[in-house]
Amino acid sequence: MRALVVIDAQNEFSPDGLMPVPGHAAAVTAIAHRVDQARGVGEPIAWVRHHNRPGQSRRFLPGTWGAEFTPGCGPLPGSADEAEFVKEVFGAFTGSAIGPWLEARRISEVTLVGFLTHMCVSTTAREALMRGLAVAIDPDATASEALHHPLLGELSAGEARRAALLHLVDLGVELAIQPSPQVESGSPS
């Protein structure tokens, strides 16, 4: 059985957030499409929310607007097929109950969507692979930020996303590409 895992679909990544991500609106549209599909077939949905610990950063602090789910995202109240998991690190499986929740539902495959492709999505994908789960990622339903390092150089947000997806595909992650009327680009550029 398959589950959808929505990672960090939070206000902090929006244009008004403290960590705005290029392509946020397009990724949120693709996430919403995936959520609608999952709900339509009764597929479980794990909603993962990131919280920073006090003193780490002023981003993603519990109780702030930035830490809230993006409008339209989050578990349906009263749904037995949807649950929220809070994490304080990059991977959704570390320090949360998502693993036992998926096991209780006999989930063997996960589709990952969310933010940031090169950080939390990538780490969660690797954790899922290490647990023996089949992993797919919808590249249209993810986004990254530009990366800069004085010795290593720079990657645009699109290049960071593409590099993360290339690494994950090389590890055995599938790309879950499907046409969506709301999303123009189906390529992981």
Which pLDDT tens digit goes with each residue over 44-69? 999 999 999 878 888 999 999 999 99
Residue with tokens 């879950």: 176
Each residue of 130-155: b (16+ CB within 10 Å) or e? Answer: eeebebbbbbbbbbbbeeeeeeeeeb
Mean pLDDT over 4-32 rounds to 97
Q: Alpha-carbon distance 143 to 7, whole Å?
A: 11
Which DSSP state fits 74?
S
**pTM score, two decimals?**
0.92
Contact residues for 149 (Cβ-Cβ < 8 A; gap 6+): none
Q: Using a pLDDT cut of 90, give the percent of the chain over it.
A: 89
pLDDT of 183 strictly over 50: no
pLDDT of 31 strictly over 70: yes
Cα-based distances in Å from 21 to 15, 82, 149, 173, 174: 7, 26, 18, 23, 24
User: Higher confidence at residue 189 or residue 68?
Assistant: 68
CB 117 within 8 A of CB 144: yes
Cα-based distances in Å from 177 to 89, 136, 141: 27, 9, 10
Which DSSP state fits 161?
H
Q: Name the pairing type of β-strands 109-115 and 82-87.
A: unpaired
pLDDT band at 12 (very low <50, low <70, confident <90, very high): very high
